[in-house]
Amino acid sequence: MAGDSHATTATEHATDAAHGAADAAHAAEGAGMPQLDFATFPNQIFWLIIAILAIYFILTRIALPRIAGVLAERKGTITNDIAAAEELKLKAVEAEKAYEKALAEARAEAQKIAAETRAVIKDELDKATAKADAEISAKAAESAAHIAEIRDSALEAVDTVAKEAAAEIVSSLGRPVDAGAVAAAVEAQIKGDA
């Protein structure tokens, strides 16, 4: 358009002026906006349509199906993984139950074995104790007999020594010794003491 080019030149003049932004802004308001240069419209519109169609076909043929596929696949994977995790969790709970059951059984078994062993040991111990007791009492009886024997012989020795000592004392007093009387007196003395 002839009018347009006129206006453009006028604007350039105005814009070049030294009055700064205010003038520049004023100029922008004017017909000098390249946006309103209708001569460039067919060009812009043609290339825009080409660009939009290009993007549209790239999106519908390649990009969008691909991204949709990836998103769907990811969703599927996540769902599957969650299901698998759920299953594994159930399995873990079951395994824990089995473990606890086995543990309880083992504990019971151990207690049983311990009780049995204890009984066996106690039996043996009782037997050994009884045997030892018997041996001890036998030995004690034997020892008692021995002690009695020793005592008897000791008493006898005391008798003899006492009688001899008494006879000796009587003889040293200068009296005739009557063995029979001394013996009787000593015996009576010992018995009286006992």
Partner 1 sequence: MADEAHGGGIQIHPMDQFKVEPLFGGDHIGMLTPTNVTLWLALAVGAVVLLLVVGTRGRAIIPSRAQSVAELAYGFVYKMVEDVAGKDAVRFFPYIMTLFMFIVTANFLGLLPMSFATTSHIAVTAILALAVFLTVTVLGFVLNGTKFLGLFWVSSAPMALRPILAVIEIISYFVRPVSHSIRLAGNIMAGHAVIKVFAGFAAVATIAPFSILAITAVYGLEVLVAFIQAYVFTILTCVYLKDALHPSH
Using CB under 8 A, list all residues that contact partner 1: 11-13, 15-18, 20-21, 23-25, 27-28, 32-37, 39-52, 54-56, 58-60, 62-64, 66-71, 73-74, 77
Determine the Cα angle at 151 with ends 147 and 156, to 5°.
150
d(CA 48, CA 39): 15
Q: Residue 44 or residue 129: which is nearer to partner 1 going by CB?
A: 44
> How near is the Cβ of 88 to partner 1 at its closest, in Å?
20
Q: Residue 35 or residue 171: which is nearer to partner 1 going by CB?
A: 35
Q: Residue 81 or residue 87: which is nearer to partner 1 going by CB?
A: 81
> How near is the Cβ of 89 to partner 1 at its closest, in Å?
23
d(CA 168, CA 28): 170
> How near is the Cβ of 91 to partner 1 at its closest, in Å?
25
DSSP element (H, E) containing 149: helix 64-172
Q: What DSSP assignment string belongs to 66-94? A: HHHHHHHHHHHHHHHHHHHHHHHHHHHHH
Q: Which of 67, 65, 6, 68 is nearest to 32 (CA)?
A: 6
Q: Residue 53 or residue 114: which is nearer to partner 1 going by CB?
A: 53
> How near is the Cβ of 5 to partner 1 at its closest, in Å?
11
